[in-house]
Amino acid sequence: MNVSTAKALVTGGSSGIGLETARHLRAKGAQVAICGRDEARLQRAAADIDALPITGDVSLENDVVRIVRTVVEKFGDYDVLINNAGFGLFAPLVETSLADMQRVYATNVFGAMLVARESARHFVEKNRGNIVNVASTAGQRGYAGGTTYSSSKFALSGLTECWRAELRKFNIRVMQINPSEVQTDFVAASGRPLRPFSERKLIPADIAQAIVSMLEMEDRGFVPELSVWATNPD
């Protein structure tokens, strides 16, 4: 697609991979709306990249309906969803609570479904569109302590395959990107100890560049899934 004429919604767009993807899309000329729960941070991010800020929580159905409606009202149309909102909690199975599982799934799985559903309703009507789900290499192989987060990304991968099978006939490209560890505030938000910044590990701009390159392929083709690893991390 021609990204310079794209109109995109980026969830979790106030920081990390979401913000950098929005920044890269804006640099290409796309119109971009970003959404997030923290209004102050969202407003700062939007001002920084000249994007449309829409405060909302993707785990709340009414918020999602309002977010999508606002994008259509402001842009007149849109054709790209970057389904990025997500967070992680990490604990051994014997210490994992149902409440923590529900919190993570509410955003990472149910929220992703809600935004994709509302976007797909619009895209199907237009007979075109692009959905990029930001998953994780944690959704390709489980690990100790990953009961909550890793399983949520496995679930997102399953959703991606279902949506792809349903939506291809409407010229909707459903794609998934699987970053390995990326140096963002994700670690701090999960409660795990921060590690020193390393030039050898991935940064959000690396993932943003990959997402934009997936979108830029001619519409007759698409990249179903792309995994991004650091070449030689510490």
Task: Please report the beta strands in the chain, taking only residues with DSSP state E, as ranges in sequence order.
Answer: 7-11, 31-36, 52-55, 80-83, 129-134, 172-179, 225-228
Q: Going by C-beta distance under 8 Å and a sequence separation of 6 or more, which residues neighbour residue 162?
A: none
CB 215 within 8 A of CB 130: yes
Tokens of 108: 């990472």
- For 21, other C-beta atoms within 10 Å of its C-beta total 31
26-55 core/surface letters (b: 16 or more CB in 10 A; e: else): bebebbbbbbbbeeeebeebbeebebbbbb
Q: Which of 78, 105, 143, 149 is an active site residue?
A: 149
Note if 143 is an active site residue.
no
Catalytic positions, written as ranges? 149
